[in-house]
Amino acid sequence: MFKNKWFWIVAAVVVVVGGIAWWRMHEAKVKGAWQFETVRIDRGKIVAKVTASGSLSALVTVQVGSQVSGRIAALYADFNSKVKKGELIAKIDPQLFQASVAQARANYVAA
The per-residue pLDDT for range 71-105, each reduced to its tens digit, is 889 999 888 888 888 888 899 998 988 999 999 99
Give backbone dihedrals phi and psi of 93, rounded to 5 degrees, phi first: -60, 120
pLDDT at 17: 94
Cβ(103)–Cβ(81) under 8 Å?
Answer: no
State residue 14's pLDDT score: 94
The answer to whether the predicted template modeling score (pTM) of the entire model surpasses 0.85 is no
pLDDT of residue 85: 86
Give pLDDT, residue 1. 54
Question: Which secondary-structure segment (H or E) carries 68?
Answer: none
What is the C-alpha to C-alpha distance for residues 25 and 19, in angstroms, rounded to an integer? Answer: 10
Asked whether the beta carbons of 91 and 73 are under 8 A apart, the reply is yes
Which pLDDT belongs to residue 56? 84
* Residue 68 to residue 96: CA distance in whole angstroms: 11
Residue pair 1/8 in contact (Cβ under 8 Å)? The answer is: no
Residue-wise pLDDT tens digits, 6-64: 888 889 999 999 999 888 887 766 655 566 778 888 888 888 888 989 998 888 887 87
Q: Which residues are CB-contacts of 68 (< 8 A; sequence separation ≥ 6)?
A: 92, 97
SS3 state at 3: helix
